[in-house]
Structure 1
Amino acid sequence: EVMMEDNSQIIEKITKIVNPFVEEMNLSLVDVEYLQDGGYWYVRVFIENLNGDLSIEDCSKLSSKIEDKVEELIEHKFFLEVSSPGLERALKKLEDYIRFTGEKITLHLKHKLNDKKQFKAVIKEVKGDNIVFLIDKKEVEIEFKEIRKANILFEFNDF
């Protein structure tokens, strides 16, 4: 029987993977978490830009640089999330949806749609006061005022 590696060893290995990329991008690594939450495993990497604000682009760039190497390290399915400790990734204004067209988000609606209020979606396009999302490969048009909250997801599903 294979023993589960203890989490601190895995965190140490993830840190070794992440550090060179963080340095190369002139960012600073704040923390790495590896934990189980609600039945799913998460690798959370927290970074800061010492010269100013951390951009969403920085986060997604670092994610794509490290995801394959972290996947080689962890056998089971997990979510990789890269953010700054204080990065508010909420989409507040219609302009935010235009700016982040194509991004994956978690979407919380005020009223149920097909018996659910929470979805993972991709922002497809903004049409007037409506936003077209891809949800489960289907296009769904939702009024901006129907959205309770939405956050950008930097996560890579390892299925």
Structure 2
Amino acid sequence: MSKVTDLVEELARPILDDMELELVDIEYVKEGKNWFLRLFIDKENGVDIEECGLVSERLSAQLDEIDPIPHNYFLEVSSPGAERPLKKEKDFMKAIGKMVHINLYEPMDGDKSIEGRLTAFDNQILTLEVKEKTRMKKIELPLNKVSKARLAVEF
């Protein structure tokens, strides 16, 4: 699967750079009987449907030309949405001050998921402020203990 996502990233980068858009994530997954190739793109003030459509058209033309996927699939290009994944160091830096949802490889204090406000990211350590009963507490998590991270919706 990573060969497909690597190739798609290689094809998408020049298109996105030309349009001054950021590649947030690529997924190539089977859901039921169907395969989906999903690109999540963004920019400072968010992307609109026209930008998603243009990226889809340009990328689709390149994929049709080299035909790297041997079966039918659906190409979807969209915004990462309010619960944007955090994967790269720069994603964590931009998320400082925001609510995040973190999944861990191993439980910490009995929990494999933590939600809180990201207050710092330094030397591969995430610092979160989390609610513990009636008070707030700071915790530190090494990035290598994080299996998945995303922005969380604030209420």
Instruction: Give me the TM-score of the superposition, normalised by structure 2.
Output: 0.50
- Normalising by structure 1, what TM-score? 0.48
